[in-house]
Amino acid sequence: MTDSAHLTHVDEAGAARMVDVSAKSVSVRRAVAAGRLRTTSEVVDLLRRDGLPKGDALAVARVAGIMGAKHTPDLIPLCHPIALHGVTVDFELAGESVEITASAKTADRTGVEMEALTAVATAGLALIDMVKAVDPAASIEGVRVLRKEGGKTGDWVRPEDRP
Amino acid sequence: MTDSAHLTHVDEAGAARMVDVSAKSVSVRRAVAAGRLRTTSEVVDLLRRDGLPKGDALAVARVAGIMGAKHTPDLIPLCHPIALHGVTVDFELAGESVEITASAKTADRTGVEMEALTAVATAGLALIDMVKAVDPAASIEGVRVLRKEGGKTGDWVRPEDRP
Amino acid sequence: MTDSAHLTHVDEAGAARMVDVSAKSVSVRRAVAAGRLRTTSEVVDLLRRDGLPKGDALAVARVAGIMGAKHTPDLIPLCHPIALHGVTVDFELAGESVEITASAKTADRTGVEMEALTAVATAGLALIDMVKAVDPAASIEGVRVLRKEGGKTGDWVRPEDRP
Amino acid sequence: MTDSAHLTHVDEAGAARMVDVSAKSVSVRRAVAAGRLRTTSEVVDLLRRDGLPKGDALAVARVAGIMGAKHTPDLIPLCHPIALHGVTVDFELAGESVEITASAKTADRTGVEMEALTAVATAGLALIDMVKAVDPAASIEGVRVLRKEGGKTGDWVRPEDRP
Amino acid sequence: MTDSAHLTHVDEAGAARMVDVSAKSVSVRRAVAAGRLRTTSEVVDLLRRDGLPKGDALAVARVAGIMGAKHTPDLIPLCHPIALHGVTVDFELAGESVEITASAKTADRTGVEMEALTAVATAGLALIDMVKAVDPAASIEGVRVLRKEGGKTGDWVRPEDRP
Amino acid sequence: MTDSAHLTHVDEAGAARMVDVSAKSVSVRRAVAAGRLRTTSEVVDLLRRDGLPKGDALAVARVAGIMGAKHTPDLIPLCHPIALHGVTVDFELAGESVEITASAKTADRTGVEMEALTAVATAGLALIDMVKAVDPAASIEGVRVLRKEGGKTGDWVRPEDRP
């Protein structure tokens, strides 16, 4: 740890603040985040069957994720309320889990990784809500940023040693 | 999987709905959920140092969790807006992680596990927001219900084979 | 018009107020409302085709309606924030329109017709949002209560002379 | 219907998304929408009398409409949260109805017709809330865009054959 | 100060919490709060003139206060989301000030003084917003509880030595 | 009072409106507001002691203020939803009061004095919530703008004759 490492969201006296980004330039920024619903094969089968006409379960979770991204500044105390210019949420059904991937895009003064992460977490919570009567032990794992693009700090890709 | 297993939040045609709980009785219900911020020892040290006078970082995350519990019906599409009569959020700093535990309590017609889970997830997101400049790879793991009490279905404790 | 007719939501001096319902008893109340998206047969065909696996358009509008019901006290200034114990939103595709029906149920101190109406209006707005690139002239018609049940004033059914 | 007609808010697999508008340019955009409260002449008389000093009913509905416009991205799942630079809501009392007109203006990357429509619908719902004790059968009719200005697609005026 | 004096909203370790009120009984509770916009006689004249037909300024502030009361649990981190069964907001124009009085009523498990105070503060902020172009120095003074009724602790009236 | 003095937020007929600012230029704007919690020396001592490790009370109020600033357009009916690029909230404990100062910064088309004022008021309400069990008579005084910078009207400093 270098001497200069510190939490940007608290000042030198430790007081929380919304960091001033008014001098940062407007540029296109994008972030992709992922996570995983860990449940039972029974639940994954139910969700797969729901892939029939009018099956709303995955759509409900997708909408929850997209709307969750918009709620980010309401949920994360020190997050800036920013423009949000595009959000996608995707699911992939596996044996005993559902992989959740979300991307968020903006042309604004700060990054959108919190929006992508909030989309993943909210979609995961919505999935748990819908499956909890069948599997009350379902959990959300690995909510993390996969990559970021744009902004002054440039691109970032999740290092391989951080699974 | 038994034949009767189904997703309670969609009807027989697959359409999403907010399940009718108006006939359920008002009783005290409680849920405890947990999760974990996985980060670096450097970040955990920074959070620990923040445990000095006026260090707000953990308090910000705690407030985020408590307010997140109140936001649950805004975030989870099919969740009932219910009374919320008590919420606690606690953190335990370990080597490379922060354990997050939340409890929610109500005297209402339905359970509060979604409120406890949302508190954990929101506190975790707030922590990531505050540490992401130092550790952009921080993740949230194991967001899950530990136990539920009260209500018609009675008490539930997380089984040992579901870590 | 009888002499006693007046707007309950303003006092004798004309000032708006949230009417005191604290003395009303908790009882099960239900309301059903309906409305109609008027659009083109082309759009209705697109929505019908969307009834294939993973077609989310109607699910998005259904979720919008259910969440809209929960937002009622945020939107209607003098509405009470009440418990909401069940909501359903249904669509029926016709030639050039989509019939929208919503029901809301509560066990609380006041009725839920505003919640049912808000669900219909919000679902209709969400449909317009999704079809406006194809039909910018789509409109919402006939947002109205069909019937109410429960509460002190008893049941009410929409009279035939009010289409 | 041309072959290329499709719902812009779902991808080729039918999954809902918030369409990426980050590459669109910031320009002034305006939309005007309208609708109508259909009620009884008795109610219209009550609202007209309310046009006396301190009569708040129409003001409550106007505020509901303006605040409703601001709530648009909370209500419409796939709507972008955009800057909103001006909103007006006007009422015209007629025999058995109240004409509602709303305009919304922005300098941002996407149009504001949903904001204008939401203002009309919310003002209409607020009117129903205030008159429902006198006329429980009041309805909202013809919520529709009258014209749009600005943006890449240019101006649009409601065609005469779409009343 | 007695030894037992402590902040109820933090535990013995100083951690914030939403205090558990699930064991408290449902009873009718009421609170009245007040405050004052301090401005210029010019502004008070403008507001008084606005007391003509269609003058919306005081109505806007009244609606802001009523809706502010509903927003209380969103604004005050440790406040319980409770039922709110009646709210009134009144203004009295004096020489260089506007007296603001709000009352809130509930039949729930905890008091409503925060709701009454939030109504006063929000109405005051809305007044400042509307007069700030004429008087940028307008201020809000004396936001305080006048009296509380109901609940286990019984009635409370503001003591004369606390102006 | 000059003849031209009028309330900008209502039109010539008195109807409320969100003033059109789409033609104003984007520039950096800043506002500082202040206020005061008036309570007892006992409460101030409790808050001071809370300045020990893990004492959350002031942090809760600070977070309330920062999040309150973000809620401004939800609370103030005619306020524009704007970008908010930085917020700070500070407290100074004195004998029988807590001085509250908030600053808000943006690069947008309109000023941020309402955001700064809302931060002060919300922080003050959160403090009252936490101390009301010890001092039910605590009040908020002097919520006012101290200075504004940027924008077309230029800088403004609170005149000395307006305390």
Q: Please judge whether A63 and C58 are an interchain contact, meaning their C-beta atoms are less than 8 angstroms apart.
A: no
Tell me which of A128-142, C141-155, D11-25 is least confident: D11-25
Say whether F85 counts as a known binding-site residue: no
pLDDT tens, position by position, C96-120: 999 999 999 998 888 899 999 999 9
Q: Please judge whether E17 and B88 are an interchain contact, meaning their C-beta atoms are less than 8 angstroms apart.
A: yes
Please state the separation of Cα A58 from the chain's center in Å: 16
Greater model confidence, C123 or E107: C123
Q: Over 60: is that where the pLDDT of C65 sits?
A: yes
Exactly one of B11, B56, B74, B129 is catalytic; which is it?
A: B129
Mean pLDDT (chain F, rounded) = 90
Tell me which of B27-41, C116-130, E119-133, F44-58 is least confident: F44-58
Determine the average pLDDT of the residues in D130-156: 93
B20 part of the active site = no
Tell me which of C94-103, D145-154, E121-130, F116-125 is least confident: D145-154
Domain boundaries, chain C: 34-149
DSSP letter (8 states) at residue A14: S
The pLDDT-based confidence of C51 (bands split at 50, 70, 90) is low
Say whether D146 counts as a known binding-site residue: no
Q: What's the pLDDT at A151?
A: 83
Q: Over the range B81-96, which residues count as b (16 or more CB within 10 Å of their CB) and which as e?
A: bbbbbbbbbbbebeeb
**Residue reference for tokens 């069957």:** A49
DSSP string, C101-163: EEEEEEEESS--HHHHHHHHHHHHHHHHHHHTTT-TT-EEEEEEEEEEE-STT--EE--TT--
Q: What's the pLDDT at B52?
A: 44
The pLDDT-based confidence of D153 (bands split at 50, 70, 90) is confident
Mean pLDDT (chain A, rounded) = 90
Give the residue from A120, A89, A157, A105 showing the smallest Cα distance to B136: A157
Q: What's the pLDDT at D14?
A: 79
Q: Over 50: is that where the pLDDT of D124 sits?
A: yes
Q: What's the pLDDT at C8?
A: 83
Mean pLDDT (chain C, rounded) = 90
Name the residue among A7, A121, A136 with its Cβ closest to that of B156.
A136
Nearest chain C Cα to E73, which residue? C81
Greater model confidence, C5 or F94: F94
Determine the average pLDDT of the residues in B64-90: 95
For B28, other C-beta atoms within 10 Å of its C-beta total 15
Disruptive mutation site among E70, E89, E125 for chain F (greatest number of F CBs within 10 Å): E125
pLDDT tens, position by position, D52-78: 444 688 999 999 999 999 999 999 999
Candidate ranges A1-10, D1-10, D135-144; pick with highest mean pLDDT: D135-144
Q: What's the pLDDT at D5?
A: 66
Which residues of E are known catalytic residues? 129
DSSP string, D32-88: EEEEEEE--HHHHHHHHHTTSTT--HHHHHHHHHHHHHHHHHHHSTT-------EEE
Say whether F42 counts as a known binding-site residue: no
pLDDT tens, position by position, A48-72: 876 544 468 899 999 999 999 999 9
Residue B116 to residue B72: CA distance in whole angstroms = 9
Q: Over 70: is that where the pLDDT of B154 sits?
A: yes
Q: What's the pLDDT at B108?
A: 86
Q: What's the pLDDT at C100?
A: 98
Query: Cβ neighbours of residue A127 under 8 Å, at least 6 residues apart?
Result: A37, A57, A61, A98, A100, A138
Name the residue among C21, C23, C81 with its Cβ closest to that of E70.
C81
Q: Over 50: is that where the pLDDT of D158 sits?
A: yes
Q: What's the pLDDT at D51?
A: 52
Q: Are F18 and D87 in contact (CB under 8 A)?
A: yes
Determine the average pLDDT of the residues in F46-72: 84
Give the residue from C155, E67, B81 showing the smallest Cα distance to D126: E67
Determine the average pLDDT of the residues in D10-34: 90
Question: Domain spanning C34-149: which CATH class is it, in words?
Answer: alpha beta
Q: Are C145 and C50 in contact (CB under 8 A)?
A: no
Q: Over the range C44-53, which residues count as b (16 or more CB within 10 Å of their CB) and which as e?
A: bebbeebeee
Residue E85 to residue E87: CA distance in whole angstroms = 7
The pLDDT-based confidence of A12 (bands split at 50, 70, 90) is confident
Amino acid, res. B59: A
Amino acid, res. E160: E
Q: Where are the beta strands (DSSP E) in chain B?
A: 27-38, 86-93, 97-108, 139-149, 156-157
Phi and psi (nearest 5°) for E156?
A: -140, 135
The pLDDT-based confidence of E51 (bands split at 50, 70, 90) is low
Determine the CATH number of domain D32-150: 3.30.70.640
Query: Cβ neighbours of residue D26 under 8 Å, at least 6 residues apart?
Result: D107, D108, D109
Return the half-sphere exposure (C-beta side, CA atoms, 13 A cut-off) of residue A14. Answer: 22
Q: What's the pLDDT at D139?
A: 98
Tell me which of B83-87, D37-41, E6-10, E120-124 is least confident: E6-10
CATH of F33-151, picked from 3.30.300.30, 3.30.1360.150, 3.30.70.640, 3.30.1490.20, is 3.30.70.640
Q: Over 60: is that where the pLDDT of A33 sits?
A: yes
Residue F72 to residue E56: CA distance in whole angstroms = 20
Determine the average pLDDT of the residues in A145-156: 90
Q: How close is the nearest chain D Cα to the Cα of C134, in Å?
A: 7
Question: By three-state DSSP, how is residue A92 classified?
Answer: strand
% of chain B beyond a pLDDT of 70: 93
Disruptive mutation site among E82, E85, E89 for chain C (greatest number of C CBs within 10 Å): E85
Say whether C18 counts as a known binding-site residue: no
User: Chains D, E: CB contacts under 8 A, how many?
Assistant: 29
DSSP string, chain F: --TT---TTB-TTS-B-B---TTSPPEEEEEEEEEEEE--HHHHHHHHHTTSTT--HHHHHHHHHHHHHHHHHHHSTT-------EEEEEEEE-SSEEEEEEEEEEEESS--HHHHHHHHHHHHHHHHHHHTTT-TT-EEEEEEEEEEE-STT--EE--TT--
Q: How close is the nearest chain E Cα to the Cα of F157, in Å?
A: 9
Chain B touching partners, 3 or more CB pairs below 8 A: A, C, E, F
Q: Over 80: is that where the pLDDT of F125 sits?
A: yes
Mean pLDDT (chain D, rounded) = 90
Q: What's the pLDDT at F51?
A: 52
Q: How close is the nearest chain C Cα to the Cα of E14, in Å?
A: 32
Nearest chain B Cα to F64, which residue? B63
Q: Are D22 and A28 in contact (CB under 8 A)?
A: yes
Fold exhibited by the domain A32-149: Alpha-Beta Plaits (3.30.70)
ipTM computed for the complex = 0.95
Fold exhibited by the domain E27-150: Alpha-Beta Plaits (3.30.70)
Residues of chain F contacting D67 with CB distance shorter than 8 Å: 74, 77
Q: Which two tokens stand for residue A28?
A: 């296109």
Q: Over 60: is that where the pLDDT of E120 sits?
A: yes
Q: Over 90: is that where the pLDDT of F115 sits?
A: yes
Q: Over 90: is that where the pLDDT of D148 sits?
A: yes
Chain F touching partners, 3 or more CB pairs below 8 A: A, B, D, E
Q: What's the pLDDT at E5?
A: 66
Name the residue among C28, C67, C90 with its Cβ closest to that of B22.
C28
Determine the average pLDDT of the residues in C61-86: 95
Please state the separation of Cα B5 from the chain's center in Å: 25
Q: Which two tokens stand for residue E153?
A: 């602790």
Which residues of D are known catalytic residues? 129
Tell me which of A47-61, E6-20, E65-79 is least confident: A47-61
Q: What's the pLDDT at C49?
A: 78
Angle CA E152–E157–E158, to nearest 5: 130
**Burial class of residue D103, CB neighbours in 10 A (0-12, 13-18, 19+):** buried
DSSP letter (8 states) at residue E28: E
Q: What's the pLDDT at F55?
A: 60
% of chain C beyond a pLDDT of 90: 71
Residue F131 to residue C126: CA distance in whole angstroms = 44
Name the residue among F52, F53, F56 with its Cβ closest to that of B62.
F56
DSSP letter (8 states) at residue E46: H
% of chain C beyond a pLDDT of 70: 93
The pLDDT-based confidence of F5 (bands split at 50, 70, 90) is low
The pLDDT-based confidence of F3 (bands split at 50, 70, 90) is very low
